[in-house]
Amino acid sequence: MARQKVSWLALTLTFAAAVHAQTANAGKQTWKPVAFAIVKYNDDAPKSWNLYHTEKKGLLLLHLWKRYLLVDTKEEEVYDIDPATVKETGNNVEFDMAAKPSEPIESGEWKMRDVGPTRRVRFKLGKNGSVVELQIPLQVNGKPVY
């Protein structure tokens, strides 16, 4: 009888640990690099950058130097993301959308256009700020590769 209680307790603790691990990672999403993307900052290529996508269409995570920007192309909004909330795992990054700030940073002059096999997203940070251009590859059917 004592052995049965010990095994039941061990099973309960194992299950509780598994549930805790799932809820701890529930909000985090894995963001994968956008292959063959091009990023321009004030018409120049930045020395350090990467562009990531997730399963949700229209959301991009831009790693520009030491800064992360969450770009919502559907709502035409940009959010400044705290780099401490982004975790690099190999080529991918993990980011929890719950850590997104409540207010976007000032951006304007949004232009989205398909140019041949790429979608060009261009916007300005701030009123007189820098221009960011993202060139995202498209499939043959005209949909983004990501």
Element (H, E) at 14: helix 2-24
Q: What is the mean pLDDT of the chain?
A: 83
Q: Give me the DSSP letters along 97-112.
A: GGGS-SSPBPEEEEEE
Distance CA 47, CA 130 (A): 16
Give residue 15's pLDDT band: very low, low, confident or very high (50, 70, 90). very low
Residue 44 makes CB contacts below 8 A (sequence gap 6+) with none
Domain parsing of the chain, residue ranges: 27-137
What the block records as the tokens of 21 is: 């691990």
List of residues 6+ apart from 56 with CB closer than 8 A: none
Confidence (pLDDT) at 17: 40
More confident of the two residues 138 and 122: 122
- Which pLDDT value is given to residue 1? 52
Both tokens of residue 77?
Answer: 């909004």
pLDDT tens for each residue of 87-117: 999 999 999 999 999 999 999 999 999 988 9
Determine what percent of the chain falls in helix, strand and coil, rounding each to the nearest 5. Answer: 20, 45, 35
Apex 110 CA angle, 116 and 41, nearest 5: 75
pLDDT tens digits along 59-85: 999 999 999 999 999 999 999 999 999
Return the pLDDT at 60.
95
Q: How confident is the model at residue 139 (pLDDT cuts 50, 70, 90)?
A: confident
